[in-house]
Amino acid sequence: MERAAVLGAYTYVPAPRGAAAVTNGTLIRDGRAVTLRVTEPLLRDFVESMICMEADLARRWMDAQTLSSFPGAE
How many other C-beta atoms are found inside a 10 Å radius of the C-beta of residue 44?
Answer: 18
Query: What single string gives the DSSP state of each residue in the chain?
Result: --S-EEETTEEEEPPPTT--TT---EEEETTEEEE-SSSHHHHHHHHHHHHHHHHHHHHHHHHHHHH-SSPPP-
pLDDT interval class at 21 (50, 70, 90): low
Confidence at residue 22, expressed as pLDDT on a 0 to 100 scale: 65
| Residue-wise pLDDT tens digits, 39-67 | 888 888 888 898 899 999 998 888 877 77
**What are the sequence ranges of the domains in the chain?**
5-67
Confidence at residue 66, expressed as pLDDT on a 0 to 100 scale: 77
**Alpha-carbon gap, residue 36 to 13, rounded angstroms:** 10
Confidence at residue 17, expressed as pLDDT on a 0 to 100 scale: 74
Q: Report the chain's mean pLDDT, rounded to a whole number.
A: 83
